[in-house]
Structure 1
Amino acid sequence: MPRYALVPAVLVAAALVTAPAAVAAGPVTTPAGSGYTLVFSDEFNDSTVDSAKWNYRTDQKVKSAQLPANVTEGGGVLTLNLRKEQVGSYAYTAGGVVSKQSFRYGYYETRAKTPVGSGWHTSFWAMAGDGSTTFNPDRRTEIDQSEINSSAPGSISQGVNAWRPDGTKTDVGRKWTNPGFDTSAGWHTYGFDWNESRVAFYVDGVLTNTATYPPSLDTHDYVNIWLTSIAYETVDESKLPATAQFDYVRYYQREYYVDNDTPADYGYSETGTWLDSSLAGFTVGNSSRYSQTPGSTATWRPNLRAGGTYDVWIYRVPSTDSAARLTVVHNGQTSTVTADYTTGGWLKLGTWDFPAGTSSAVTLTAGAATARADAVKFLPAD
């Protein structure tokens, strides 16, 4: 699987909002629960879009061309300006932004207001990509928190698409939610909490849908955040120009996964000789690594945003090693654990106290048998 890089004179809408108060830096309670820590946010309080955080959506799809010039920031909001404007064969222009940084499990949230007048498809969603196309061949996970057609502003589509390399997909847990309000008439909060077995969707803090998926579905890759609106149906030109607006976007993390093929700087490293394996890792599309050189090491080092007590698990890709040696560094101490790799799957190594930051680690040292490396997870011990 390719490694994704970790990088993290137009109309301005009249209906703007006061920027929200700063978010606490420590663990907070979200609609999904407690113990979440803010990792990424944009409050859209500047006068221009932060190019260090965002790519523009620039594809041409359905009925509109997406233009960077249609995206503005001011008055505490991000505004997507929707216009009747000819670009090639497209009669309308729209826009959006896509986060340069990619993320995995955690709670994602925005506050938004959709356009007035039919014809526009406004979305808060997550998928691997940079905005140049919605058909990135590397995509596997697509999480649609809210897909809202402006012809039906009281209905929200929520669900997960599991994409395959051949471009086909499985639609998981799709549900049309009727929140009881017009999404174009005021500001509302949209969030989703993603973990290894499901995605839970929230509107104004209320759980509205849960999409569960079996381990056989490849729905676990790193994703970028998309805030977009495109022309999708027959456009009511009497309501143009129109706008879609976002007050903020935030991503909170609670569980920490480190994988051998995660984006750069997510904490996996090796010494000695390791090679790509044909055996899958803990998800269908993830590769694993192996070593037959004694003394070679694989290390998983999380960036824990909050100190505390964590259960530590390692994913075993089966091998002939019945006594693999692992060391766990926690709070300046080192514990040694022996793991049986003749059986695959997640194995709990133990529970320890860990400080915030990157000083903690799990290391596998290759011995006489073939060593196999894939993923380690740190889960808060509730």
Structure 2
Amino acid sequence: MNADPKTISIVVADATPSMRSNRQGSLWQLCMAGALLLAAAATVHPAHAQDLPSAPSFVDDFTKFDQSRWYISDGWSNGPHQNCTWSKSLVSLSDGALTLGFEKRQTKDRAFACGEIQTKKRYGYGTYEARMKTDTGSGLNAAFFSYIGPQDKQPWDEIDFEVLTKDTSKVQVNTYISGKPKNEKLADVEGGTDKGFNDYGFVWEKERLRFYVNGKLVQEVTNPAELPTHSQKIFFSLWGSEKLTSWMGPFSDPGRKVTMQVERVAFTALGQPCQFPESLACSISNSN
């Protein structure tokens, strides 16, 4: 990680509005206009290419902010459950990582501001992985996930890693299939999500979905009815709620800026070579 503590603000010119609504216990709903067309599926393994289109494999270590890949959510909230407004000023490059923030800042209808980014393209079967570190605080959610929904003229499919920072010893994994929650499970994170960077990854194939924490398998799904079937965008977000207390814990003003950091994110399409030595794609055998 870069030892230079300088924070670099990110200025973007995108104007594609995006809205997501979280679920009761796990409810999300994204309303987003101006979505891009599906990207070419040239790098998907030939056996799967006809099944699920995908943008190409990539690795991003956030040495710079790639505006051709990422869109920064800015200027709206995801519904009455969310107590913060997305703000591009809370997305920055800091200490060799992408940093998303949450802080007290009054907007027209919210008392707090928060950060989110999402890919502009959609991705299909393959290995998704992120190396990230969270903060602490009840009523907050630090998430790495993929999502697609009705605003893109697609059914609501989603694959999640969510750290409810009321308890940083665990991460919640789950999926949504046509808007219905499936496969929810809490997985242990040895040492805690806030004490250092941890690796979160899922391997999504046509006939199974596997979740990994620091290289350890924590959940496997093989029921065809519980597997996503639509290409999705990749998201990182940090947000709070004063209403979803049974899920996220009672919210209390942290009295400071809360952050989550992402050192690296990668997508490796099925059948493609792994892209860095620590990648799950180097050690996990995918289906043919």
Structure-2-length-normalised TM-score: 0.68
Report the number of matched residues. Answer: 217
Shift of 1:140: 2.9
Match of 2:205 among 189, 195, 201: 195
Q: For residues 245-284 of structure 1, what are the structure 2 equivalents within 5 Å?
A: 245-255=261-271
Shift of 1:99: 0.8
Q: Deviations over 1:161-183 (max 9, x none)?
A: 002xxxxx322221111233321
Residue type at the aligned position of 1:249: V
3-state SS in 1 of match to 2:169: coil
Counterpart-to-counterpart distance in 2, 1:67 and 1:40: 26
Match of 1:125 among 145, 149, 158: 145
Partner of 1:41: 59
Match of 2:192 among 182, 185, 194: 182
Task: Please say if residues 141 and 160 of structure 1, whose CA atoms lie closer than 8 Å, have aligned partners that are also in contact.
Answer: yes
Q: For residues 187-266 of structure 1, what are the structure 2 equivalents within 5 Å?
A: 187-214=197-224, 216=225, 219-233=228-242, 234-255=250-271
3-state SS in 2 of match to 1:69: helix
3-state SS in 2 of match to 1:237: coil
Shift of 1:239: 4.6
Shift of 1:189: 0.5
Match of 1:60 among 77, 84, 99: 77
Partner of 1:172: 182
Shift of 1:7: 6.0
Q: Which runs of 5+ in 1 are unaligned?
A: 9-37, 164-168, 256-304, 307-379
Shift of 1:72: 0.3
Task: Please say if residues 113 and 183 of structure 1, whose CA atoms lie closer than 8 Å, have aligned partners that are also in contact.
Answer: yes
Task: Please say if residues 174 and 211 of structure 1, whose CA atoms lie closer than 8 Å, have aligned partners that are also in contact.
Answer: no
Counterpart-to-counterpart distance in 2, 1:153 and 1:162: 27
Shift of 1:111: 0.5
Residue type at the aligned position of 2:124: R
Higher relative contact order (CA 8 A, sep 6+): 2
Q: Deviations over 1:277-328 (max 9, x none)?
A: xxxxxxxxxxxxxxxxxxxxxxxxxxxx56xxxxxxxxxxxxxxxxxxxxxx
Please say if 1:5 is aligned against 2:22: no
Counterpart-to-counterpart distance in 2, 1:212 and 1:218: 7
Residues 6 and 40 of structure 1, relative CA distance in 2, 3 Å threshold:
farther
Q: CA RMSD in A?
A: 2.7
Task: Please say if residues 140 and 220 of structure 1, whose CA atoms lie closer than 8 Å, have aligned partners that are also in contact.
Answer: no
Counterpart-to-counterpart distance in 2, 1:75 and 1:179: 23
Shift of 1:136: 5.6
3-state SS in 1 of match to 2:111: strand
Partner of 2:154: 138
Task: Please say if residues 133 and 198 of structure 2, whose CA atoms lie closer than 8 Å, have aligned partners that are also in contact.
Answer: yes
Task: Please say if residues 84 and 114 of structure 2, whose CA atoms lie closer than 8 Å, have aligned partners that are also in contact.
Answer: yes
Residues 135 and 147 of structure 1, relative CA distance in 2, 3 Å threshold:
farther
Task: Please say if residues 173 and 212 of structure 1, whose CA atoms lie closer than 8 Å, have aligned partners that are also in contact.
Answer: no
Q: Which runs of 5+ in 2 are unaligned?
A: 1-34, 41-55, 243-249, 274-285
Task: Please say if residues 160 and 211 of structure 1, whose CA atoms lie closer than 8 Å, have aligned partners that are also in contact.
Answer: no
3-state SS in 1 of match to 2:106: strand
Shift of 1:100: 1.1
Partner of 1:158: 173
Shift of 1:6: 4.3
Partner of 1:95: 115
3-state SS in 1 of match to 2:190: coil
Match of 1:51 among 67, 85, 104: 67
Counterpart-to-counterpart distance in 2, 1:99 and 1:222: 12
Shift of 1:191: 0.4
Task: Please say if residues 168 and 193 of structure 2, whose CA atoms lie closer than 8 Å, have aligned partners that are also in contact.
Answer: yes
Q: For residues 19-34 of structure 1, what are the structure 2 equivalents within 5 Å?
A: none
